[in-house]
Every structure is written in C-alpha cells, then in structure tokens.
Structure 1
Amino acid sequence: MTDNDGLRAIGSLPTQSRRKTYEHVYRALRHALISGRIPEGTHLVETELAAQLGVSRTPVRDALRRLESDGFVARGTAGGLWSRGIGPDEIADLFLVRTELEKLAARLACERAKPEQWAEPRSLIAQMGAAIDEFGLGSEEFGEIHLAFHTSVYRIAFGNRFAGLLDNYLLQCLDVAAELSYRDPACALPAVQQHEELLAELSSGDVSRAVAAAEAHVRRSADDAHRASTDTTLS
C-alpha cells in the first residue's frame, strides 16, 4: 500500500451539506480514521485531501489540527502528518467516561422527563433505521442521527443550556465511541433494537431500570468496539 491509498476512501463534500465545511471535513476525516478506511500510518497531505473532498485547503488544515489535538493524527519525526490508531487502553478509558455520563443522564432523564419529551428520541430511532437502510450502519449519516438521539436524551436530563455545554466537547466522546462500536457492522448488535430497548427503560419511570439499561447499552457498545478493534488488528 502506498502512503496515500487510504485517502481514496473519502468522498467529496455533498452539495447540500447540513454542516459547515470545516465541520464536515473534520467528521469525514475522523470517521475514515476510526473506521480504518484510512489505515494507520497513512501520510495525510493537505492538498490531496482537499482535492479528494472538493474543498479548499483551509478547512482541511483546520480539521487536521483538531485531529492532531484529539490524538487521531501525529507528526512524523521528519515532518508531515500521519494517521494514528486508537489503542485498547484508550478505548477502555473512552467507554469508562461514557458509562458514567450515560448513567447520570439516564437517572436525570427518568426523573425529570415530561411524557411528551420522549417523542423526539422515539422519532430519531425511526430515522436511525432509515439511515441504516439507505447508507449503512457505519455511515456518517447514521452517526449524525445516533448522536442526535443521545443529545435529545441529554437535553431532557440536563436542560438545553448544560446539554449545550456538554455538546462542546464531552459529546464528542460519545460520537467517537459510537464510530468505534459500529465500524464493523457484522460485529454490532442491531442498533435500532438496542435503542428501542434503551428508550423503553428510560421512559419507564423506574430510575434503577433506566440506569441499568444505560450501563448495559454502553457495555454492549464497548464489547462491539473491542471486538471490531481486535478483528481489524488481526485482518
């Protein structure tokens, strides 16, 4: 494999992108790095990435800086940026943080929710199924809806203001965790079924059941992520 073979896995920017160019570039590159479509050790060249994505070099440069800060990209000893894998210890820590956040959100959402507030996450589960059918489980489109589902639960739990603060960074942990979990669709349990079961417990009014369901949901995701990571390493 040549240095840049992995870059061909990234599609150009959609004409009707719902996101700012920079955010789209960042998410597209991060998704390709986490999913292994850009293999570890690939040389990431600004000009080539910009041409592949159909954007200017500026959003690519900004996205690469952020990815370097996030630990997905590293500078080589002779210069240049290279893709970096995620180790087992990092995956474990990521899911440890997610477990505690999800348990707290489950407890507060179960205690605070008004019945009509569950309509939004229920609708998003239906959209998850449609995204899987059209784009696939490991797609960016599915990832956006999956994140929106959990964000809607956080808004119920924490309110709009604090959920917005979480969205600035902590929800990125959830986003990355999901991409790790669903990068190998053959390894993952049915996503729609998982979230239907989770929502049923969150909206049950029984706090202990809601917290247990949230913990089990993250544990399944962690198992899927570790399994996918192991399979990728062995392949």
Structure 2
Amino acid sequence: MLKFDKIEARNTVVLHVYQQLKRSILRGELPTGYRVVEVNIAEAFGVSRTPVREAISRLIAQGFIREQGSAKIVADISVSMSEIMGIRGVLESYAARLAAENATEEDLQVITEYCNSSILVDRSSSIENRASLNDAFHEAVARASHNERLIKMISDFYEYAITEEMLVYYSKADTTNHAGQHRAVLKALQDRDPDAADAAMRAHINCIGQVIEKAIAQMKSK
C-alpha cells in the first residue's frame, strides 16, 4: 500500500506531491516499471487528482516517469540521469564560455564568493547547505553569461546535481574534488579564457554525472 506524508497547505500541494514522488523514485521505493495510477497516488496523499496529475506531468517532462500507451510507469532513472547530465554538460559549458566573455566584475565577485564557500564546506555540513552552495555557484556562472534564455534552460536542471537522497553517497573526496573543479572554472573566468572555462565546466559536469551514477547504483542496491 502506498504511503506518503499528508499535505495541508493548499498552495504547496503540487510541489509536495512532486517532491515526494521524485524522492520515492530516487530511493527505489517506486521501482523501474512501477505503474503510476493517479487515483492511487491521490488517495495515498489525501489530495484530489488534479495536483497529482500536474506533479506526474512534471516528472514525465523530466524523465522520471514515462508514458507507455495509456499507462504511466516509472522510468529507469539511471538512463534518465545520464541523459540529463549530458544536456547539462552542453548547456553549462556554453554558459561558462559566455561568462568568460561577458561577466562583469560584480559577476566574478559573486562567483568567487560562492566558490570560496564551497571550498570551505565539508562533508559534515548540512545537506541543505552543501546543496544550496552548489546550486548558487552554478546559477552565478549561468547568470554571468547574460543569456536569459540559456539561464532559464539551465535553471530547470539544477535539482539534478545534488539531491537529499544522493548527497549522502558523496564521499569526502567527491566534495573536495568538486570544490577544486569550481576553482578551475573560476580561474578560467577570471582569465577571460572561454575555451578553458568551457572545458573546466564540462569536466565538472562529467564528474558530477559519475558521482550521481554511483549514488543511484548504491540506492538501488539497498
């Protein structure tokens, strides 16, 4: 029987349904191939079918759930995440290239601050702190591109970098490596070197993808 936390705040219903469904998929509680039935999900949450339908639509768009004829089933998240990280690699490396060309001194100062903070953070820091610092660094680089459409596209993928479920599988070495990679991106931006910025960000995203792949494998094995 499905069991989820009941939701009370009306304006956050869709978000909560989405987040809990995604969390259950990432944890393997809703395994690959599981048939997602709106009425069952709505009953488990204690909400109407409308917010459930919206949440499922979002998960379909993001590749966590796929349509198979008239049915909706949980997708293989290892495949979905591989595709997502490939897209992130293209988008964010291009953003870094543009940032090397277009960033203002104020932009670089903001990126520097987030980079320094990510270097100081360690594995004992809270999940929320580590995740928010990572997102803030990537968002700052994207904004420094000064390409509004690109910024919007990238923002849709931030949540796939570090999630509460995955972060517990990040080793101290992973955290240290990612901080060093942030530093490499920053140096390329400060040097106004588009090629180096592109390469540094692409290498960083590839490394994130490898850690996420490892985390998914560990979650599935539990």
TM-score (ref. length: structure 1) = 0.67
* CA-CA distance at 1:111 after TM superposition: 1.6
In the alignment, which residue of structure 2 is the partner of 1:62? 54
Distance 1:32 1:173, change over 3 A: same
**Per the alignment, in what secondary structure is the counterpart of residue 144 of structure 2?**
helix
Show the counterpart of 1:150.
138
Confirm whether residue 120 of structure 1 aligns to residue 120 of structure 2. no
Contact 1:181/1:222 (CA < 8 Å) preserved in 2? no
The equivalent position to 1:94 in structure 2, one of 55, 60, 84, is 84
Match among 172, 192, 200 for residue 213 of structure 1: 200
What is the one-letter code of the residue matched to 1:220?
Answer: C
Q: Which whole-Å deviations, capped at 9, do the CAs of 1:92-147 have from their partners, x for residues lacking one? A: 3322222221221111111211121134344555489499723x2xx6x7555543
Over aligned residues, Cα RMSD in angstroms? 4.0
State the match for 1:190 in structure 2. Answer: 175
Runs of 4+ in structure 1 over 6 Å off: none
Match in the other structure for 1:226: 213
In structure 1, the residue corresponding to 2:139 is in which secondary structure? helix
Deviations 1:1-60 (A, max 9, x none): xx52xx44xx56697xxx854345434432442343544355543324433xxx654322
1:230–1:50 Cα change, 3 Å: closer
CA drift of 1:220 comes to: 0.8
Give the direction of change, closer, same or farther, for the CA distance of 1:186–1:92 in structure 2 (3 Å limit). Answer: closer
* CA–CA distance in structure 1, aligned partners of residues 190 and 74 of structure 2: 44
CA contact (8 A) 1:46 1:61 kept: no
Q: Which of 46, 50, 58 is equivalent to 2:45?
A: 50
Identity percentage of aligned residues: 21
Unaligned runs of 5+ in 2: none
How far apart in 1 are the matches of 2:95 and 2:8? 34
Residue 185 to residue 63, structure 1, CA distance change in 2 (3 Å): same
Structure 1 alignment gaps of length 5 or more: none
Could you tell me which residue of structure 1 aligns to residue 74 of structure 2? 83
Contact between 2:78 and 2:213, CA under 8 Å: does it hold in 1?
A: no
